[in-house]
Amino acid sequence: QQPVQSPQAVILREGEDAVINCSSSKALYSVHWYRQKHGEAPVFLMILLKGGEQKGHEKISASFNEKKQQSSLYLTASQLSYSGTYFCGTDQTGANNLFFGTGTRLTVIP
């Protein structure tokens, strides 16, 4: 039931763009995206609900393809502060009991 994330790791230069993908084999109610910096707690980025619109948060946006049970996180014009591990969490029931992927480690270099 754990979603699969790709890529596992990516290195960007400041200003470059990246896409992180999350795929589930189960029908989903929603997809949640979090970022975790080393030694810190995960921090919420956004939720995408079934039937909802693409969400955006400054230069970070995401989409949810319900038919394919896939979500993608788009980071544009990356900043040093974007470095961290990105996790998608999938909710199959609407009860917010998430299954998290193994994460994508993003490193932004000057």
Partner 1 sequence: EAGVAQSPRYKIIEKRQSVAFWCNPISGHATLYWYQQILGQGPKLLIQFQNNGVVDDSQLPKDRFSAERLKGVDSTLKIQPAKLEDSAVYLCASSHLALTGGQDTEAFFGQGTRLTVV
Report how many residues bind partner 1 under the rule CB under 8 A: 24
| C-beta separation of 87 from 99 below 8 A | no
- What tokens appear for 105 in the block? 């480690």
Residue 74 has φ and ψ, to the nearest 5°, of -110, 125
Residue in 16, 23, 98, 107 binding partner 1, rule: CB under 8 A: 98
CB 78 within 8 A of CB 12: yes
17-56 footprint of partner 1 as x/- string (CB under 8 A):
------------xx-x-------xxxxx--x-x-------
Question: Could you list the residues that contact partner 1 (CB under 8 A)?
Answer: 2, 29-30, 32, 40-44, 47, 49, 87, 89, 91, 94-103
